[in-house]
Amino acid sequence: MSIHGILGQQTNQYPTTYSPEILFPIARSLGRDAIIKNSPSTDVAALTVGVDWWHAFEVSWLNGLGVAQVAMARFTISATSPFIIESKSLKLYLNSLNFTKFERWDDVKALISKDLSKCLQSEVKVDLFHLEDATSRLLVVQPDGICIDEALKNIKTPLELSEHPNPSLLELTEIAVSSSASQTYCFHSNLLRSNCPVTNQPDWGTLGVTMTTKRLVSDTNMLRYILSYQQHNGFHEQCVEQIFADLTTYFAPSALIVRAWYTRRGGIDINPCRVSELSLLPKPSRLIRQ
């Protein structure tokens, strides 16, 4: 990817006045073009069904009397938006509100929504949560399904580390790879790791998959595939879309949900989710790691 902006650059001074111009968009096409190149059978439109949920834990501004207010925020961004946002620019933008006065919380929500929507050229929904409400409204949950990380004990040969994920690891060596009846698999792994394509810093997350398919799914093969992302340089959204494309190619599912809960950096966590149809879209949630 060719990416420009402030991510990875040294920040000598944080903005102390409202600075919407600091927001920096990154075209989703940069990641999706690479996916289509590697998975030519994938329809680009299939990668646009879903949302990205961002949680920000360092949101602050001043009320009319100049008293600091603090909140947690959730930004809901449609996967149809032509751009994602550079995370560091979002952090600096939110910091630029620290000494800006607002009479009402709704004014803060409206301004952030307007600025993010303009940057991403798509409507962004903004929710602000009082810290007292966060326990009930931003629940920490357990991911659905079984944890396949126990399949590590079945890996007997050393893993080959490469710069790119290896979807061929999904293939079964057994003769029988399908059955006449569909089966729904629901599982998660806490071992998703990739690298930021700008800073090369590691990003850790939990991957969740719910898939209905006639093909057999091996926990061990699936885990080996997930581990093949360990040295891959890709944004959170691109990694989830690549996994969605690979599972679609190899398993031809009648229904598919792929989502990831990434741990936070800079007070922000990113949680992309892609589904085979919008009716399958789950509710936003947080995990204990976040």
Q: Long-range contacts made by residues 216-221, C-beta under 8 angstroms, separation at least 24?
A: 216/172, 216/174, 216/176, 216/177, 216/178, 216/179, 217/185, 217/251, 218/172, 219/148, 219/150, 219/151, 219/154, 219/187, 220/151, 220/154, 220/155, 221/169, 221/170, 221/171, 221/172
Q: For the chain, how many residues are written?
A: 290
**pLDDT confidence of residue 134:** 77
The verdict on whether 203 is a catalytic residue reads yes
Can you tell me the distance from the alpha carbon of 277 to that of 283, in angstroms, rounded to the nearest whole number?
Answer: 14
CATH 3.30.1130.10 region(s) of the chain? 20-137, 146-280
The verdict on whether 196 is a catalytic residue reads yes
Give pLDDT tens digits for 95-148: 999 999 999 999 999 999 999 999 999 999 999 999 988 777 887 899 999 999
Q: Which of 52, 115, 203, 219 is catalytic?
A: 203
Q: Which of 52, 115, 119, 196 is catalytic?
A: 196
Can you tell me the distance from the alpha carbon of 153 to that of 220, in angstroms, rounded to the nearest whole number?
Answer: 9
CATH topology of domain 20-137: GTP Cyclohydrolase I, domain 2 (3.30.1130)
pTM of the model: 0.91
Q: What are the φ and ψ backbone dihedral angles of 203, each rounded to 5 degrees? A: -120, 125
pLDDT above 70 covers what percent of the chain?
93
Domain 146-280 part of CATH 3.30.1130.10 = yes
